[in-house]
Amino acid sequence: MASTMLSIASATPSASLSMHEKLKGKVKLGSTTNSTAGFIKTKSFGRVSMVAAVNVSRFEGVTMAPPDPILGVSEAFKADTDEKKLNLGVGAYRTEELQPYVLDVVKKAENLMLERGENKEYLPIEGLAAFNKVTAELLFGADNSVLKEQRVATVQGLSGTGSLRLAAALIERYFPGAKVLISSPTWGNHKNIFNDARVPWSEYRYYDPKTVGLDFEGMIADIKAAPGGSFILLHGCAHNPTGIDPTPEQWEKIADVIQEKNHIPFFDVAYQGFASGSLDNDASSVRLFATRGMELLVAQSYSKNLGLYAERIGAMNVVCSSSDLAARVKSQLKRLARPMYSNPPVHGARIVANVVGNPALFDEWKAEMEMMAGRIKNVRQKLFDSLSAKDKSGKDWSFILRQIGMFSFTGLNKAQSDNMTNKWHVYMTKDGRISLAGLSLAKCEYLADAIIDSYHNVS
């Protein structure tokens, strides 16, 4: 990046000076001159003269970005040497021993791939055909009319994040000026995705801190007030970060308002089967909207329910009013994907296709999902029991049991969350969210002590 020239004059100072003059203008003897315009720094001391030409980087204007609010938690956790430390930041499933878990059914699917000797050739832009078929059937139900009528445009995406980003690019190109409404709060990356795609967004009320529950009236009022034709981003199940989902009756009313306002529902489904343990129950919100004949977008992810975090496997589905429209939308999704990442990876797609497409493996997967969801439910119950037994203030902690999925929104503010980390070595996001997937039954009482101390002793 920098080039340096050294000149040692053995005769007179004037000889050294003339050398400087040849390099860059006149320099006074015995002085130090910095020239950013010419990228030259000069030092002259008697008979010895040094000339350093330094090129200023074109990247000087690049500032240091702040750490990611979620992934940065894991980095801080790794640096902590305290044996009591807990990482409740990232939503990744752990065993009771707090170790990463590779599903048995995933190992079997990978063995099938090895036995078949499958190659590593490029996939088409839209992804693996077998994956696209089974993922749409898993989401909507194999007998759903939207599939029989070929009204769904499905393309394999780079997990949930990449699928959302692809949809955001579609909105930016074909719905210029349309706004996306996002729940307050929401998954931290949603806003980044729409900002990056230059899609305007605003928030609708969702979380009520007074009840640590759903602000349903506020949510409905904000959806009603949005400009007609807005995209309403909804969490299909296990809302992140709150763990608070609408009831079936509330979902019906949400659908009513979205239809009345001619909005477009946009579902993010990251936890199908992982939230309740039932694939069908966790897809019921999406299927409700599809059954009503609504056009909608749905992003899917297999990071959680199959533990394929690093495989980056997911899909973007667009339900249209006709098969012709679906074909056109799919062609444009492919057109957007081509300069973005060209085509998706094959390994995770084959795992999903093997598991979902094989009745025996599919049944094994459902059993493993029930096991994982059950462990989190047990931890949730134990945490509630520990808080209720230890906290003598009379505070009602039952909201923890009403939440669903891998997260719990504790209601702790930033200062209280900081105390959890600084004093108790419990790493979590600063909005008070904890990942119960990173908690064991053995650590529930310790976590309860930390929460009680932070809640009552930190303002």
| 201, 282, 304, 443: the active-site residue | 304
Whole-Å CA distances, 238 to 86, 90, 270, 277, 329: 22, 15, 8, 11, 29
Return the closest-CA partner of residue 136 out of 293, 336, 326.
326
Q: CB within 8 A of 224, min separation 6: which ones?
A: 257, 260, 261
Helix (H, G, I), strand (E, B) or coil at 212: coil
Euclidean distance between CA atoms 314 and 269, whole angstroms: 10
Q: What is the rounded distance in angstroms from the CA atom of residue 172 to the CA atom of residue 344? A: 22
Active site annotation includes 304: yes
Alpha-carbon span 313 to 303, nearest angstrom: 7
Phi, psi of 434 (to 5 degrees): -125, 145
Taking a C-beta distance cutoff of 8 angstroms, is the pair 354, 112 a contact?
A: yes
Contact assessment for residue 408 and residue 380, using Cβ atoms and an 8 Å cutoff: yes
Closest by CA to 209, choosing from 432, 452, 18, is: 432
268 included as an active-site residue = yes
- The span from the CA of 281 to the CA of 245, in Å, is 12
Q: Which helix (H) or strand (E) holds 294?
A: none
How far apart, in whole angstroms, are the C-alpha atoms of residue 157 and residue 270?
Answer: 13
Contacts of 317 (CB under 8 A, 6+ apart): 135, 136, 139, 140, 152, 153, 154, 297, 298, 299, 300
Give the whole-angstrom CA distance, residue 353 versus residue 289: 26
Residue at 93: amino acid letter: Y
DSSP code, position 441: G
CB 150 within 8 A of CB 323: yes
Which of 268, 330, 365, 382 does the annotation list as catalytic?
268
Q: Phi and psi (nearest 5°) for 3? A: -115, 140
- In this structure, are residues 231 and 298 in contact, taking their beta carbons and an 8 Å threshold? no
Q: Could you give the angle at the alpha carbon of 162 between the alpha carbons of 161 and 164, nearest 5°?
A: 65
The three-point CA angle 203-209-214 to 5° equals 65
CA 456 to chain centre: 31
Residues annotated as catalytic (active site), given as ranges: 187, 268, 304
